[in-house]
């Protein structure tokens, strides 16, 4: 072997020995391990503080939300009862209004029906009167009474109308028809 290679090998062996001694001192010394532990613990504590504060904030937020939800849950039955009462009141009001409208409509229908019957009764009475006048004028012409009208007493009119009560039943029947 050439001498230059010998030197190189001896240099390499020397370096390896010094590295070995350094490694052995580091392994035996363990101060760097303690320093690494301290650094790791310090970093862990900082992370823990950050996490603890975030967890505390999150926990406080969740507690507030929980309380608000509990309040809302407590209010829901009361609000439902209020809503039911409101709907029932509206239903009663509408039923009352419907009844009022129905009664008004029925009363208007009855009054219109009564008015129509009254008009029919008046027309019938006028027609009967006109017929009576025509018969009377025919009789007066045949009997020769003064003024063209025969003298009637109550019994004649009742007999003519067919009741024998002096015409009272016709008037009673007319009133009855007006009421219907």
Mean pLDDT (whole number) for 19-27: 83
Q: What is the pLDDT of residue 83?
A: 92
Contacts of 151 (CB under 8 A, 6+ apart): 145
Model pTM above 0.75:
no
The answer as to whether 165 is a domain residue is no
The answer as to whether 169 is a domain residue is no
Mean pLDDT (whole number) for 10-32: 83
The answer as to whether 177 is a domain residue is no
Return the higher-pLDDT residue of 170 and 14.
14
The answer as to whether 154 is a domain residue is no
The answer as to whether 18 is a domain residue is yes
Q: DSSP letter for 148, please.
A: G
Instruction: Give the tokens for residue 98.
Output: 């419907």
On the question of pLDDT at 55 being above 80, the answer is yes
CA distance 123 to 52: 103
The answer as to whether 12 is a domain residue is yes
Mean pLDDT of the chain: 78
Percent share of the chain, pLDDT over 90: 23
The answer as to whether 166 is a domain residue is no
Q: Give tens-digit pLDDT for 93-152.
A: 999 999 999 998 888 888 877 777 777 778 888 888 888 888 777 776 665 545 444 555
Q: What is the pLDDT of residue 86?
A: 94
CA distance 28 to 65: 56
**Structural domain boundaries enclosing 94:** 3-149
The answer as to whether 125 is a domain residue is yes
Which H or E element spans position 23?
Answer: helix 3-29
The total number of structural domains that make up the chain: 1
* Most confident range, picked from 21-30, 43-52, 160-169: 43-52
Mean pLDDT (whole number) for 5-24: 84
């Amino acid at each position: 072997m050439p001498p230059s290679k010998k030197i190189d090998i001896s240099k390499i062996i020397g370096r390896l020995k010094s590295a070995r001694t350094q490694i052995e001192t580091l392994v035996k010394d363990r101060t760097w391990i303690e320093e690494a532990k301290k650094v790791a613990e310090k970093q862990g504590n900082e992370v823990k503080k950050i996490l603890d504060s975030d967890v505390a904030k999150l926990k406080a937020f969740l507690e507030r939300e929980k309380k608000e939800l509990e309040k809302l849950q407590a209010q829901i039955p009361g609000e439902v009862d209020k809503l039911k009462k409101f709907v029932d009141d509206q239903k009663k009001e509408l039923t009352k209004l419907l009844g009022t409208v129905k009664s008004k409509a029925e009363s208007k229908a009855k009054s219109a029906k009564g008015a129509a019957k009254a008009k029919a009764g008046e027309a019938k009475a006028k027609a009967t009167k006109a017929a009576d006048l025509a018969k009377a004028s025919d009789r007066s012409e045949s009997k020769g009474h003064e003024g063209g009208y025969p003298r009637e007493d109550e019994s004649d009119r009742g007999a003519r109308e067919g009741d024998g009560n002096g015409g009272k039943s016709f008037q009673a029947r007319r009133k009855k028809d007006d009421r219907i």
